[in-house]
Amino acid sequence: MSLDSRDTVKERAEAALEDDFLRQAVRFTTERLRSGRLQAAGEHGNWEAWRERGRQIRLHTIAHLDYYLNLFAENARANGAQVHFARTAEEAVRIVQEIARRVQAKTVVKSKSMVTEELHLNQALKEIGVKAIETDLGEYIIQLAGEAPSHIIIPAIHKNKAQIAEVLSEEAGEQLPPDTKVLAGFARKRLREEFLKADIGMTGCNFAVAETGSICIFENEGNARMVSTVPKVQITLMGMERIVPSWADLEVMATLLPRSATGQKLTVYLSGISGPRRPGDGDGPEEMHIVIVDNGRSNQLGDPEFQELLNCIRCGACLNVCPVYRHIGGHAYGSTYSGPIGAVLTPALKKNVAEWDDIANASSLCGACWEACPVKIPLHDMLVYLRRRKAESPHRSAGEAAAMKAYGLTMAKPGRLSAALKLARFGQRFAGKGGEIRARIGPLDGWIKHRALPMLPQESFRDRWKKLNTGGVKPHDPAVEERLCAALAKRRGSGDAAHVQAPVQAQIQAASPEPAPMPDDQRAMLGHIAAKLGHPPRTAPAGRALRGAPDFWHAFALPPEERRERFAANFRAAGGHVASVPDLHAASRYIAERAAERGASSLLLQDAPELAGLALDSAMPDACLSVWNRDPATDWIAEAAGADAGVVLADCAAAYTGTVALLSSRGRGRSVSLLPPVLFIVLPADRIRTRLGEVFAEFDAGGRSAMPAGVHLISGPSRSADIENDLTIGVHGPGDVHVIIVGSSE
């Protein structure tokens, strides 16, 4: 099923409900993701404190969005990146097309990006003769099938193995069996060819760190690392709200996002990219562009009902708990974004709002989305606001208008409601049986066709509450109270947020000093954002009460030996191998033995002094050993692609997530840890920290000037569950990963 905006939500939902496989597949996969989130949150502990901290960071960032976007742009340019601001989808597409034309691109390899889906960028590139190739396994499958993603995290959730085998067999020119390992292996081989010859790599952006100008990408397969490592030109498209102030704040998001999305402590790869390759580097893009996209997002700024929508971190947790999404899947929503977040975000981003307001009806208003959301976005309230807007709009039908008027009159007075309930209880005697309404007449027919409709109880909630409520009503959370009061004030007096911004804009133009010189596109977009937020454009740091993880987390520290044990347990749980050895001689012997077992005869080593002590030429006299970037004339990316194994040095590690951090430099190319199928990581024991935040703290302390072009965090072998949620190891990155802990933990 592909997206078809010509049908109504109701028609698309009815078609989805007739697809038994779709319903079973979506329910099975979302239940696994939901269970994984609950388990990961429970194991982590203090989850509500982390949610609240995440919410506060997002609220602060969006409230000062113009400042943090400006700070990010300045630092990204200082890193060597070219930063573009696009107010509309058309502007963003034009920028990308112009870059592609200038570099005479023929092919673009893309990692997963909902923004590029939102912009319909693949079609726009095709129109100028450029072939765009999706490289995420699920995205690749549905691109070949001519379809659209149906889930933020698992795009091909609606397809079974047989259907996927049929799609990939047509691409392969031979019949492939419906076996996950075979299908993923074909995709790996075919896409590896595309990575190595592509002119442009295109990525999305999970978060952008303002203080260092870094783009951060979370993924499991390694395709985003490929896209940002191999092609000579990189284009990153990011929604304007994807900012966090610091790496300390990123630790909070790195705690919330993977656990909420897939139940992982951390995704296999977290890449921090701070500009193009440095002089002398052997890999990474020579040219990097960052396109910051508005495309309707700023419409929510300054609106008390919808501004928190921009807090979304795109984890998909709300989809996995939504009873509507779990029955109809993603395509029934008819747009790029589905589930509760899509039901609110789609009307917000679309110009023809009236056409999309109906999507808010695809919800039971149960509030499960808010309970699952890691940053506590009140999506259920927003859906009610959208329904109110539709009910008050001139676009509704006469029947709906009459029904709403009757409903309003009934609910206006308790006596009317009581009389209506008595009448309904009397009438249901003739329409119900066995405790359920069975008469399929009028609007009841669509409901009863797919679900049970219970009969009204003889005792109403109001009657029961009189008996049960002995302790009084619990007051609202102050933050909730403030938000609801602001929304009510808007509804009663101030009208739409867009209508109250004109005086603010005039004040800004009259009273604000001239901002620092900046490109026209940036000046215009940041001025617009500031106006929507109701303040002059900000260039001074915003005051903050909170930064980074909750206070209690900073006190969490494991003793050295326990750090080693916790790291090993977590890395093994993710599918990796861990060995502890006393010295580099023993590490060399381990590498030689494992390489021999795997038939790995060609090894590529990073050029690090610590690795020279391995003396692998003595331990493996018959092997072909190369050292990264020793000869500038060598094509080192091709060398890495042809190597059987890579050997790298870890800069530090985090025990709590089982993560190693690798920093790129001239002698330490990122391809060494990415392109070979087998990876050996040498980790000095004294570099193991307890928390991820301790690793990030070094980036904050060093600042932008100390950041390498690439920071790559690795938490196991490359993996994917995009084919019927069946886990396969070794998709685009190494599938066989060994960490060798060397020396004493003291």
| pLDDT, tens digit, 9 for 90 and up, residues 274-315 | 999 999 999 999 999 999 999 999 999 999 999 999 999 999
Q: What is the pLDDT of residue 503?
A: 37
Q: CB–CB of 267/321 below 8 Å?
A: no
Q: pLDDT tens across 16-49, in order?
A: 888 888 888 899 999 999 999 999 999 999 999 9
Based on its alpha-carbon atoms, the radius of gyration of the chain, rounded to whole angstroms, reads: 27
The sign of the dihedral angle between the CA atoms of 89, 94, 97, 99 is negative
Which of the pair, 700 or 356, is modelled with greater confidence? 700
Q: What is the pLDDT of residue 493?
A: 57
Q: Residue 82's beta-bridge partner residues? A: 289
- What secondary structure letter does DSSP report for 493? I
- pLDDT average, residue stretch 587-603: 97
Domain topology for 7-45+306-395: Fumarate Reductase Iron-sulfur Protein; Chain B, domain 2 (1.10.1060)
- Mapping DSSP onto H, E and C, the string for 553-613 reads HHCCCCCHHHHHHHHHHHHHHCCCEEEEECCHHHHHHHHHHHHHHCCCCEEEECCCHHHHC
Q: What is the pLDDT of residue 64?
A: 96
Cα–Cα nearest to 295, from 340, 250, 337 = 337
Q: pLDDT tens across 383-421, in order?
A: 999 888 877 777 677 777 788 788 889 889 888 988 888
Q: What is the pLDDT of residue 514?
A: 45
User: Residue 391 corresponds to which amino acid?
Assistant: A
Coil, helix or strand at residue 676: coil
Question: Which pair of structure tokens corresponds to residue 672?
Answer: 């060494």
What H or E segment, with its residue span, contains residue 492? none
Q: Is the pLDDT of residue 456 over 90?
A: no
Q: What is the pLDDT of residue 492?
A: 59
Q: pLDDT tens across 82-119, in order?
A: 999 999 999 999 999 999 999 999 999 999 999 999 99
Q: pLDDT tens across 162-195, in order?
A: 999 999 999 999 999 999 999 999 999 999 999 9
CA distance 444 to 49: 43
Q: What is the pLDDT of residue 500?
A: 34
Question: Which pair of structure tokens corresponds to residue 556?
Answer: 């969490």
Q: How far apart are the first and last CA of the chain?
A: 58
The vertex-594 CA angle with 592 and 600, nearest 5°, equals: 80
pTM listed for this prediction: 0.90
Q: In the chain, what percentage of residues exceed pLDDT 70?
A: 91
In terms of C-beta density within 10 A (0-12 exposed, 13-18 middle, 19 or more buried), how is residue 732 classed?
Answer: buried
Q: What is the pLDDT of residue 729?
A: 97
Q: What is the pLDDT of residue 515?
A: 46
Cα–Cα nearest to 418, from 472, 470, 466, 367 = 466
> What b/e sequence results for 242-259 when a residue is b if at least 16 CB atoms lie within 10 Å of its CB, and e otherwise?
bbbbbbbbbbbbbbbbbb
| Arithmetic mean of pLDDT over the chain | 90
The vertex-719 CA angle with 713 and 725, nearest 5°, equals: 135
Q: How confident is the model at residue 73 (pLDDT cuts 50, 70, 90)?
A: very high
CA atoms in the 13 A half-sphere facing the CB of 129: 7
- pLDDT average, residue stretch 248-253: 98
Q: pLDDT tens across 473-491, in order?
A: 566 667 667 777 777 676 6
Which residue shows structure tokens 């911004």?
501
Q: Is the pLDDT of residue 507 over 60?
A: no
- Mapping DSSP onto H, E and C, the string for 164-201 reads HHHHHHHHHCCCCCCCHHHHHHHHHHHHHHHHHHCCEE
Domain topology for 559-742: Rossmann fold (3.40.50)
Cα–Cα separations (whole angstroms), residue 461 to 412, 420, 467, 473:
17, 14, 10, 15
